[in-house]
Amino acid sequence: MSLSSQSSPPLSAAPAAAGGSVFLKLLPLTLAVFIGFLTMGMQLPVLPLYLHNSLGMSTLVVGLVIGAQFTVALLSRAWAGNFADMRGTKRAVLTGAVIIASSGLVYLASLPFVATPVVSVWILLAGRVLLAIGESLMVTGALGWGIGLVGPQNAGKVMAWVGIAIYGAFAFGAPAGVAIHAQLGFAGIGIATISMPVVALLVALYIPAIPPTATTRLPFYKVLSTVMVPGLGLALASIGFGVITAFSALLFAAKNWGNSSLAFTFFGVAFIGARILFGHLPDKLGGARVAFVNVVVEAAGLLLIWWADTSSMAYIGVALTGFGYSLAFPGFGVEAARRAPPQSRSVAMGAYVAFLDMSLGIVSPLAGFIAGHWGVDAVFLAASVAVALSLLVAVRLLGKASASV
């Protein structure tokens, strides 16, 4: 029997936990992830402009440095998932927080070399590598930890709340990062990158651990094959998030629209609002059905950003993109969780999130190439088309669901 057929029964087959109980169990974990990811939120509007304006790097280099984090995260997902399954999800989260903090030390080490920008960029790149490894451990561990705490029947809620933590951190971290950079320069960002994960670690210490779920290492490619189709949907849907992360600040600068940090706030608030109001729908209605509707909204938002001639219109487009992407992630994710072998839950979640990393790692430099030849706004048009392709994945998953009835 294949892994896919072993794990095909719906998650709702397990007894449902009370909504309030699920929320209370996930709240400390959500808080720890939120605090840890504030460091990345602070960097979103600052790092691209720091690379472009302060260090004089081209848009292609900006895309490569930003995308390097996602490429390294992709390469580390298999290791992070097996680490969480075999050594414990709590240990994975705590280790991830320590590694993220160490990336801040590397950021600070780059500052004496600003006069030689190439050297400074290479040191920053090393910091991004550490940030990626730490993020990989924290996210993969948190997803497996949350599902272990509240049960696989609540996998959609786990993804929803962990996502709220991550994108809430982006929303609040972006304006905080701009303010810190204005007062303390890039050194302030480095200091924040050191301190915030330490606070997250202290919160996570008090969350109950769950026993490791595996005693032997399952080959990553076997788990990857079980989540391939929903993972492809996630990869395409994540392109919108990728271009907003890497190129919103450059778009606002090119259009003279002022402070771009509000764009990340609009994205994060819309993202969180969708999760709070509708985060239960993937578990209730089916992930593919929810994903289908929301990628349409996301593609429309990106198209509006491309069309925008005012910052207000761009903010609306960013909000629509955040709203749509918000439920696309757990929508496709519920379909992935239903196909995952229970003994390798963290590896399966790592494999699923790896499609996000793959998408962002490829998209950032490719979008940098597009921006260099056709302008920054063309990036958002191309992203809208790519996101719309994930509709085909949702349709295929809906077809499989109908065939299994």
**CATH value at residue 257:** 1.20.1250.20
Considering the domain boundaries, does residue 51 fall inside one?
A: yes
Q: Which two tokens stand for residue 386?
A: 């790519």
Task: Flag whether pLDDT at 5 surpasses 70.
Answer: no
Considering the domain boundaries, does residue 152 fall inside one?
A: yes
Where do runs of H (alpha helix) occur along 215-260? 220-226, 228-255
Considering the domain boundaries, does residue 270 fall inside one?
A: yes
Q: What is the residue range of 280's domain? A: 18-404
Determine how many CB atoms are found less than 10 A away from the CB of residue 4.
15
Helices 19-43 and 155-184: angle between axes, nearest 10 degrees: 30
Candidate ranges 6-10, 173-177, 217-221, 379-383; pick with highest mean pLDDT: 379-383
Considering the domain boundaries, does residue 6 fall inside one?
A: no
Is 307 exposed, middle or buried (CB count within 10 Å of its CB: 0-12, 13-18, 19+)?
Answer: middle
Considering the domain boundaries, does residue 3 fall inside one?
A: no
Task: Flag whether pLDDT at 19 surpasses 60.
Answer: no
Residue 16 phi/psi, 5-degree rounding, is -80, 135
Considering the domain boundaries, does residue 4 fall inside one?
A: no
How many angstroms separate the CA atoms of 187 and 46, rounded? 12
DSSP 255-290: HT---THHHHHHHHHHHHHHHHHHTTHHHHH-HHHH
Q: Categorise residue 375: left if φ over 0, alpha if ψ from -120 to 50, beta otherwise.
A: left
Q: In the 8-state DSSP scheme, what is residue 17?
A: P
Task: Flag whether pLDDT at 215 surpasses 60.
Answer: no
The predicted pLDDT at position 145 comes to 92
Per the structure, the count of domains in the chain is 1
Helices 186-204 and 19-43: angle between axes, nearest 10 degrees: 160
Task: Flag whether pLDDT at 294 surpasses 80.
Answer: yes
Q: What's the mean per-residue pLDDT of the chain?
A: 84
3-state secondary structure of 382: helix
How confident is the model over 243-272, as pLDDT tens digits? Answer: 887 788 889 888 888 777 788 889 888 988
How many angstroms separate the CA atoms of 257 and 310, rounded? 7
* Gyration radius (Cα) of the chain, Å: 20
How many angstroms separate the CA atoms of 92 and 87, rounded? 8
How many angstroms separate the CA atoms of 357 and 49, rounded? 22
Four-point Cα dihedral 84, 224, 64, 390, nearest 10 = -120
- Which H or E run includes 200? helix 186-204
How many angstroms separate the CA atoms of 236 and 249, rounded? 22
The predicted pLDDT at position 385 comes to 95
Considering the domain boundaries, does residue 99 fall inside one?
A: yes
The predicted pLDDT at position 216 comes to 60
Average pLDDT over residues 61-77: 81
Per-residue confidence band for 68, with pLDDT thresholds at 50, 70 and 90: confident
Considering the domain boundaries, does residue 13 fall inside one?
A: no
Q: In the 8-state DSSP scheme, what is residue 302?
A: H
Per-residue confidence band for 20, with pLDDT thresholds at 50, 70 and 90: low
Which one, of 146, 191, 178, 193, lies nearest residue 165 by Cα? Answer: 146
Average pLDDT over residues 222-238: 86
How confident is the model over 297-352, as pLDDT tens digits? Answer: 999 999 999 999 999 999 999 999 999 998 898 899 888 877 766 666 677 777 78
Where do runs of H (alpha helix) occur along 44-185? 47-49, 59-87, 89-110, 117-150, 155-184
Per-residue confidence band for 205, with pLDDT thresholds at 50, 70 and 90: very high
CB 16 within 8 A of CB 163: no
Which one, of 322, 261, 194, 239, lies nearest residue 49 by Cα? Answer: 261
How many angstroms separate the CA atoms of 332 and 334, rounded? 6
